[in-house]
Amino acid sequence: MTDLPNAALLKAEALQLAIHNIPNFSSIATDAQGVIQIFNLGAERMLGYSATEVVNLISPAVISDASEIIVRAQALSLEFGCVVEPGFQALVFKATRGIEDSYELTFVRKDGSRLPAIVSVIALRDSDQKIIGYLLMGTDNTARKQVQAEQEKLDALLREQQDALRETNKELEAARAAAEKANRAKSEFLSSMSHELRTPLNAVLGFAQLLASEKPPPSVAQQRSLDQILKGGWYLLQLINEILDLAMVESGKVMMSQEAMGLSEVFKDCEAMMGPQAEKRGINMRFMNMDQPFFVHADRTRLKQVLINLLSNAIKYNRNGGSITISAEVAAGNTRQVHIRITDSGFGLSAEQLDQLFQPFNRLGREHGLEEGTGIGLVVTKQLVELMGGAIGVESEAGIGTTFWINLTATEKPTLEAAILNLANLGITDEHAPMRTVLYVEDNPANLILVEQLVARRSNLKLLTATDGHTGVQLARNYSPDVILMDINLPGMNGYGCLKLLQESVEAAHIPVLALSANAMPRDIEKGIEAGFFRYLTKPIKVVEFMEALDLALNFAADHTRAIHD
């Protein structure tokens, strides 16, 4: 039985010896007054003092950074609302109160060098819980401090780089804003100038045409002069239109109304318009038979403008008696695109000319030639193609000819015919149904024809139409239709502007307005509903959905009328 306590004692002594000799931790024990009583091997190695130099002689505060102890004392005084002296008391203040304490401290070695450490403090108590001393266990914090210092350097460098980047971004943003402002000013000037020039030009061309049609007719010499006036006037109008187009594109004011359409119909229209011009120059213009019908998603008016401009150039810069070939096929490597090619047998372009081709006002050295032009048309053509989500390019060989190509998004065949056939089931056959009036504001002829045919199937509906917003708003005020169908991308004033005027109008504020637009992204629909459209329908029209929305609007209008009379 007597062996057990001795064994425990031996173990305890062994443990104390292990703690005393551990090389990686400093173990410093003090008495209640803070004088060092134990200074282990780890403390000797870490701090450079021998135990005999410090035991019963000094406090751990003496070999600690004095400024850090002062800062710690001030922090403790604020935390506990009492005065903590900046000495040993500051090192053991929390431990004295039985609070677990661990903090960073810098020891000052015997040779004057500094050792960052993490110190944990424990109060040593007797059997009556009276404090008889303190144990300060320390670990070397050098590596962590070095990592922290490197991280701080990196953070500082990153902040510097971020500050520099922000400054650069500010400069770039300022430059971009200045460029946009200058570009807007230029575009607004060009647009204003174009409109201002039209008024006197209208008089020049108008009176010249009147003189040319006088009875008796003008003399040969007078007619020759009038022909020159008219030729110059019409050419000036063309230049004004090109400048206006460029201004609108650059300012972002070009309205697009994209829809599914057949290329063969567009090609026929272009052939009818450009055929006489090609024939006059003796140029054989041939639209190739397509192996299959192609349908693209584009703005019909703008696509015609693009093709006519390319065909006009192909005629203008061709040889007398030359040829032009227009074809369409599935784009190589991408079945979702249609590839259109316009090839001429002209004089071609050099590599240097190709690099400058899409620069505004650059006529590639032809400004002194016989053919008139501004160098604007191709710039507008490129931007219009890109606004429709397409791409344009050119291939040319000097002395051989030039090919312009366009890639457009392919789409499914429009289902207009099927829609109209299915509409028979939706027609109203009650001949006693009261007549109702629908106003449709739309600038696209094809869309107008479609809605006219749809409404014609309803025996009780009368359709009014307007091709611009201002006329549409005026018709709404004058005739008070039951329902209004409104395109968004209208010339002059868009559908949102029209809706706002209608909402502010005493005569038309009650009329439900249905948006009918090719702007079919979810954000477009949300924007339309938030603006106050009764419904927002997207193109191509789904007949059942269209008629259901129309019936809802008509019922809403009828309820409003009944409420007024009641």
Same domain (yes/no): 265, 404: yes
The β-bridge relationship of strands 295-299 and 258-262 is antiparallel
Q: Is the pLDDT of residue 425 over 60?
A: no
Same domain (yes/no): 383, 448: no
pLDDT confidence of 432, banded at 50, 70, 90? low
Q: Is residue 160 part of a domain?
A: yes
pLDDT confidence of 167, banded at 50, 70, 90? confident
Q: Which of 108, 140, 172 is the last residue of a domain?
A: 140
Provide the domain limits for residue 155. Answer: 147-250
pLDDT digits (tens, 9 = 90+) for 65-106: 999 999 999 999 999 999 999 999 999 999 999 998 999 999
Q: Is residue 8 part of a domain?
A: no
* CATH number of the CATH domain containing 351: 3.30.565.10
pLDDT digits (tens, 9 = 90+) for 394-414: 998 888 889 999 999 998 876
Of the two residues 374 and 313, the one the predictor is more confident about is 313
CA angle, corner 515, sides to 509 and 519, nearest 5?
A: 145
Find all residues with CB under 8 Å of 223, minimum gap 6, and list them.
Answer: 212, 217
Distance CA 171, CA 113 (A): 48
Q: Is the pLDDT of residue 541 over 90?
A: no
The predicted structure's pLDDT at residue 15? 58
The predicted structure's pLDDT at residue 521? 63
* CATH number of the CATH domain containing 441: 3.40.50.2300
| Residue 53 CB neighbours (<10 A) | 14
Torsion angle, alpha carbons of 283, 407, 297, 445, to 10: -20
pLDDT digits (tens, 9 = 90+) for 353-367: 777 776 654 544 454
The predicted structure's pLDDT at residue 47? 92
Q: Which of 183-187, 209-213, 230-234, 359-363 comes out lowest in average pLDDT?
A: 359-363
Structure tokens at 409: 């998004």
Same domain (yes/no): 371, 322: yes
Q: Is the pLDDT of residue 370 over 50?
A: no
Q: Is the pLDDT of residue 489 over 90?
A: no
Question: pTM value?
Answer: 0.44
Of the two residues 2 and 451, the one the predictor is more confident about is 451
Same domain (yes/no): 386, 262: yes
The predicted structure's pLDDT at residue 156? 87
Q: Which of 235-239, 248-252, 305-309, 415-419 comes out lowest in average pLDDT?
A: 415-419
Backbone torsion region of residue 29, taken as left when φ is above 0, otherwise alpha when ψ lies between -120 and 50, otherwise beta: beta
The predicted structure's pLDDT at residue 216? 85
The predicted structure's pLDDT at residue 243? 67
Q: Is residue 12 part of a domain?
A: no
Same domain (yes/no): 559, 467: yes
Q: Which of 280-294, 337-351, 429-443 comes out lowest in average pLDDT?
A: 429-443
Distance CA 185, CA 182 (A): 5
State what percent of residues in the chain have pLDDT above 90. Answer: 34
pLDDT confidence of 1, banded at 50, 70, 90? very low
The predicted structure's pLDDT at residue 491? 85
Q: Are 328 and 342 in contact (CB under 8 A)?
A: no
Same domain (yes/no): 440, 556: yes
The predicted structure's pLDDT at residue 259? 83
Q: Which of 379, 409, 439 is the last residue of a domain?
A: 409
The predicted structure's pLDDT at residue 290? 74
**Mean of all residue pLDDT scores within the chain:** 82
Q: Could you identify the residue written with the tokens 């306590």? A: 5
The predicted structure's pLDDT at residue 426? 46
* CATH number of the CATH domain containing 171: 1.10.287.130
